[in-house]
């Protein structure tokens, strides 16, 4: 599936992802009120991947029902990414997403550049437990906690699961920045942003591996997935599904079907009948 924030804000873009073979569709993060986001540039390619600081720009909850109504006929489950600053706010947005027709909600607990939201919540095990618990006790659809790279990731993941999260999304972009040496200022309008793409893939694989080893829970792996091999690494580490972000931007949404076809061939080569046969297989060897 696509990673949150990648072609996830307009019906036309989500239709393109559905045609490309995405098994599920993920919206960009919705907040209660509209957010205009950060000043441009908001995304800059660098040799290591992509830097972005969008600032959680979105039209707010009022626009969510219309978006889901427009894509209802695609026949794909829709995961609504949500972001808030308090447990009560997360619960309110989760309830609105369920009412609008979401198949699941993804709690954005890992945005690296939104003050008072995202990673500032996700690095605190107590806060993660409170947010996940508030959302899970409010809705009947699955709640997925999207976590970033923090010092106590395994502990934080455990708190989300204890509170009722049905699964985890690992990882988000990594806090980073680049400076234009001639302009002598950061290349992003916000200064600090998040790094995505190939550079963070080994970090994401490690995160999936360590969390799966501890909890054997459902995990969606994300971070530097750009072909069938990097997708397979995530699955072998313990992911049951993968999200693709930067590769969709750099190569187009057809990369999704290329990954699916490559994985099908890989399963034949290793004698597996389904993805389930190799989920977490790296822990058995």
What mean pLDDT is predicted for residues 115-125?
A: 73
Residue 156 has pLDDT above 90, yes or no: yes
Report pLDDT for 117.
Answer: 57
Residue 38 burial (10 A CB sphere; 0-12, 13-18, 19+): buried
Mean confidence (pLDDT) of the chain: 94
What residue numbers does the annotated binding site cover? 4, 28-29, 52-56, 108, 146, 171-173, 197, 223-224, 245-246
Tokens of 146: 């999207």
What residue numbers does the annotated binding site for FMN cover? 4, 28-29, 108, 146, 171, 197, 223-224, 245-246
User: Is 68 in contact with 74 (CB distance < 8 Å)?
Assistant: no
pLDDT tens track for 1-34: 999 988 878 999 999 999 999 999 999 999 999 9
What mean pLDDT is predicted for residues 109-138?
A: 82
Report pLDDT for 284.
Answer: 86
Position 112 confidence tier, pLDDT thresholds 50, 70, 90: low
Q: Using only C-alpha atoms, what is the Rg of the chain?
A: 18
Residue 203 has pLDDT above 90, yes or no: yes
* CATH code, domain with 81: 3.20.20.70
pLDDT tens track for 206-226: 999 999 999 999 999 999 999
> Is the bond preceding residue 171 a cis peptide, omega within 30 degrees?
yes
What mean pLDDT is predicted for residues 247-253?
A: 94
CA distance 34 to 197: 28
Residue 68 domain flag? yes
Of 239, 230, 241, the C-alpha closest to 280 is 239
Residue 6 domain flag? no
Is 152 a catalytic site residue? no
CA distances from 58 to 30, 99, 134, 240, 284 (A): 6, 19, 23, 29, 43
Position 110 confidence tier, pLDDT thresholds 50, 70, 90: confident
Report pLDDT for 252.
Answer: 94
**Residue pointed to by tokens 């829709």:** 78
User: Is 232 in contact with 261 (CB distance < 8 Å)?
Assistant: no
**Residue pointed to by tokens 């979105």:** 58
Residue 5 domain flag? no
CA distances from 20 to 16, 34, 149, 228, 247 (A): 6, 29, 30, 15, 13
Position 114 confidence tier, pLDDT thresholds 50, 70, 90: low
Tokens of 107: 């709690």
Largest interatomic CA distance in the chain: 55
CA distance 250 to 37: 22
Residue 113 has pLDDT above 60, yes or no: no
Residue 4 domain flag? no
Total domains in the chain come to 1
What mean pLDDT is predicted for residues 80-86?
A: 93
Residue 2 domain flag? no
CA distance 36 to 55: 8
Report pLDDT for 55.
Answer: 86
Report pLDDT for 8.
Answer: 77
Position 159 confidence tier, pLDDT thresholds 50, 70, 90: very high
- Among residues 111, 150, 208, 219, the one annotated as catalytic is 111
DSSP conformation letters of 70-89: HHGGG---EEEEE--SSHHH
Question: Domain limits at 41?
Answer: 11-283
**Residue pointed to by tokens 């009722």:** 164
Residue 41 has pLDDT above 70, yes or no: yes
Tokens of 51: 């830097």
> Is the bond preceding residue 209 a cis peptide, omega within 30 degrees?
no
């Amino acid at each position: 599936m696509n990673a949150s924030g990648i072609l996830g804000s307009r019906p036309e873009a989500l239709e393109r992802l559905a045609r490309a073979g995405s098994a599920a569709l993920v919206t960009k993060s919705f907040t209660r009120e509209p957010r205009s986001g950060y000043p441009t540039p908001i995304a800059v390619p660098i040799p290591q991947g992509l830097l972005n600081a969008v600032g959680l720009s979105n039209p707010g909850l009022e626009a969510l029902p219309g978006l889901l109504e427009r894509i209802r006929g695609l026949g794909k489950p829709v995961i609504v990414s949500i972001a808030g600053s308090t447990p009560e706010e997360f619960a309110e947005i989760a309830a609105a997403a369920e009412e609008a027709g979401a198949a699941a909600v993804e709690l954005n607990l890992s945005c690296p550049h939104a003050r008072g939201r995202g990673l500032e919540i996700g690095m605190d095990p107590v806060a993660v437990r409170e947010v996940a618990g508030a959302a899970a006790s409010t809705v009947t659809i699955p709640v997925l906690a999207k976590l970033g790279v923090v010092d106590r990731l395994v502990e934080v993941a455990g708190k989300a699961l204890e509170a009722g999260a049905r699964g985890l999304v690992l990882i988000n972009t990594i806090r980073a920045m680049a400076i234009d040496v001639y302009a002598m200022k950061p290349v992003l309008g916000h200064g600090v942003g998040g790094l995505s793409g190939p550079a963070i893939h080994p970090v994401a694989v490690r995160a999936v591996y360590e969390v799966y080893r501890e909890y054997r829970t459902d995990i969606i792996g994300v971070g530097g997935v750009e072909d069938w091999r990097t997708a397979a690494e995530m699955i072998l580490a313990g992911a049951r599904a993968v999200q693709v972000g930067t590769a969709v931007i750099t190569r187009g949404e057809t990369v999704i079907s290329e990954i699916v076809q490559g994985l099908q061939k890989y399963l034949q080569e290793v004698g597996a009948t389904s993805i389930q046969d190799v989920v977490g297989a790296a822990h058995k060897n």
